[in-house]
């Protein structure tokens, strides 16, 4: 009799444990608030292939309350009792979107460069098509390039090279002219720069992408779009809402993640951003995802305390896993101002790539050239609209074709 009672008790415990696991399947957010529910469940997990890494030193100030932080005594795992769990029932509202992969995105989006195309591309083609180019014409070419924010040095380079091809220009067909211009613009866009995103796992740990920039540049939107790019390319992702300045910022990010079944780790409003970033990366390490992408609060480049905070976030995150990519998000419509801000950011954190957003809203698409030249950092992604998949890996030739027009 006693044996039967013990057997029933074991089955009951196993059923309760199984049910609680199933209930957790749809949860896509880990809250680090004081009243947070313990437990983190990824909706697109990578099946664990190795036991989780041993716990490391937690940073001072990390307040992952709601999660067991005390180091547990090692306990020999007991064999789970054999139980039949009911099949997982799909939650009716949980239908994830399947974003398109990154390849070919810029070809699809290059017509969004229409404003730059009508001033820069069409402006240049009109002048270059003239039968015999005078000094005034060359000055017009120069002014057109400068007006598009191409920058003085690159403008000079383009004009010099075009002038050496005056004879070719004199007899060129419109198609030849376009091809020539695409070639020259591509040459100043740094076609040989390494623009690969550091999102891959490294030494058994997730790639970590830190996203920084001034207020309103498009950081959160970009983090959401990057998550979609990665999911579209078949990667597993965790998002970190280290903008704890406003609760709405974490909500905004969570919404992006939820659409593609990606977990967002967030903290309460006012929490230490470094500890939220740390928890996000820890979650990513434990779940063995490919990439953790961390959003940060917008900050004025003139506030040195806030700039120092970025360095702290990076240091704290790196107790878990190295930051493999630090992206600076710049609003292309802010023109040369953006470059001034960018310099301060690059001295505060080791920026490895630039994301230029809102290129769909500017006639100054040449900013890509000057940003790269002045910062010595490649533009890796560009934002071409407010749509969820309006972010594309930067490809110099396709971009140049978008500026010149006539390719579609």
Ligand X SMILES: Nc1nc2c(ncn2[C@@H]2O[C@H](COP(=O)(O)OP(=O)(O)OP(=O)(O)O)[C@@H](O)[C@H]2O)c(=O)[nH]1
What minimum distance in Å lies between the beta carbon of 153 and ligand X? 27
Nearest-5° Cα angle at 355, 335 to 143:
30
Nearest-5° Cα angle at 262, 256 to 264:
75
Binding of Mg ion at residue 357 (CB under 5 A)? no
Q: Cα–Cα distances in Å, from 138 out to 134, 146, 157, 185, 260?
A: 7, 12, 13, 16, 50
319 C-beta neighbours (distance < 10 Å), count:
15
Between 133 and 210, name the residue whose CB sits nearer to ligand X.
Answer: 210
Query: Would you state the structure tokens that stand for residue 210, as one six-digit string?
Result: 């830190």
From ligand X, Mg ion, none, interface partner of 121 (C-beta below 5 to 8 A by class): none
What minimum distance in Å lies between the beta carbon of 333 and ligand X? 9
| Closest residue to ligand X: CB criterion | 298
Say how far apart CA 241 and CA 227 lie, in whole Å.
13
Binding of Mg ion at residue 220 (CB under 5 A)? yes
Q: In this chain, which stretch among 49-57, 186-194, 209-217, 334-342 interacts with ligand X, using CB under 6 A?
A: 209-217
Query: Would you state the structure tokens that stand for residue 255, as one six-digit string?
Result: 């919404």
**207-212 and 291-296 strand pairing:** parallel
- Asked if residues 156 and 164 have their Cβ atoms less than 8 Å apart, the reply is no
Q: Cα–Cα distances in Å, from 321 out to 70, 188, 290, 303?
A: 21, 35, 12, 28
From Mg ion, ligand X, none, interface partner of 217 (C-beta below 5 to 8 A by class): ligand X
Using CB under 6 A as the binding rule, the residues of this chain from 290 to 309 that contact ligand X are 298
Between 149 and 243, name the residue whose CB sits nearer to ligand X.
Answer: 243
Q: In this chain, which stretch among 124-132, 226-234, 304-312, 357-365 interacts with ligand X, using CB under 6 A?
A: 357-365
What minimum distance in Å lies between the beta carbon of 243 and Mg ion? 5
Binding of ligand X at residue 26 (CB under 6 A)? no
- Asked if residues 229 and 369 have their Cβ atoms less than 8 Å apart, the reply is no
Binding of ligand X at residue 226 (CB under 6 A)? no
Binding of ligand X at residue 358 (CB under 6 A)? yes
Using CB under 6 A as the binding rule, the residues of this chain from 366 to 405 that contact ligand X are 383-386, 390
Give the residue ranges of the annotated binding site for GTP: 213-220, 295-299, 357-360
Q: Which residues bind ligand X (CB under 6 A)?
A: 213, 215-221, 243, 249, 298, 357-358, 360-361, 383-386, 390
């Amino acid at each position: 009799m006693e044996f039967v009672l013990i057997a029933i008790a074991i089955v009951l415990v196993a059923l309760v444990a199984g049910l609680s696991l199933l209930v957790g399947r749809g949860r896509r957010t880990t809250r680090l608030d004081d009243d947070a529910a313990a437990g983190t469940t990824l909706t697109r997990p990578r099946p664990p292939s190795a036991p989780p890494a041993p716990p490391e030193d937690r940073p001072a100030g990390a307040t992952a309350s709601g999660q067991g932080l005390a180091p547990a005594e090692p306990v020999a795992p007991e064999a789970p009792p054999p139980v039949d769990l009911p099949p997982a029932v799909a939650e009716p509202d949980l239908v994830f979107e399947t974003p398109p992969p990154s390849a070919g995105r810029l070809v699809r989006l290059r017509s969004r460069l229409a404003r730059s195309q009508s001033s820069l591309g069409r402006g240049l083609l009109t002048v270059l098509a003239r039968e015999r180019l005078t000094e005034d014409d060359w000055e017009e070419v120069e002014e057109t390039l400068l007006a598009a924010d191409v920058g003085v040095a690159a403008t000079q380079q383009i004009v010099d090279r075009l002038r050496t091809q005056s004879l070719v220009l004199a007899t060129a067909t419109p198609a030849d002219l376009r091809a020539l211009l695409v070639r020259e613009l591509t040459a100043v866009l740094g076609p040989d720069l390494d623009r690969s995103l550091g999102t891959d796992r490294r030494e058994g740990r997730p790639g970590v992408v830190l996203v920084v920039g001034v207020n309103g540049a498009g950081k959160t939107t970009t983090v959401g779009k990057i998550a979609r790019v990665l999911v579209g390319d078949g990667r597993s992702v965790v998002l970190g809402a280290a903008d704890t300045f406003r609760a709405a910022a974490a909500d905004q990010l969570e919404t992006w993640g939820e659409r593609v079944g990606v977990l967002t780790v967030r903290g309460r409003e006012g929490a230490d951003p470094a500890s939220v970033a740390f928890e996000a990366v820890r979650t990513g390490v434990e779940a063995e995802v490919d990439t953790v992408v961390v959003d940060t609060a917008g900050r004025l480049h003139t506030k040195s305390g806030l700039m120092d905070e970025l360095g702290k976030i990076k240091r704290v995150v790196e107790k878990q896993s190295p930051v493999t990519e630090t992206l600076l998000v710049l609003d292309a419509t802010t023109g040369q101002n953006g470059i001034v801000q960018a310099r301060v950011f690059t001295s505060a954190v080791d920026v490895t790539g630039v994301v230029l957003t809102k290129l769909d809203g500017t006639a100054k698409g040449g900013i890509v050239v000057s940003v790269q030249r002045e910062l010595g950092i490649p533009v890796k992604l560009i934002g071409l609209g407010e749509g969820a998949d309006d972010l594309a890996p930067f490809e110099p030739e396709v971009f140049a074709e978008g500026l010149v027009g006539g390719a579609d």
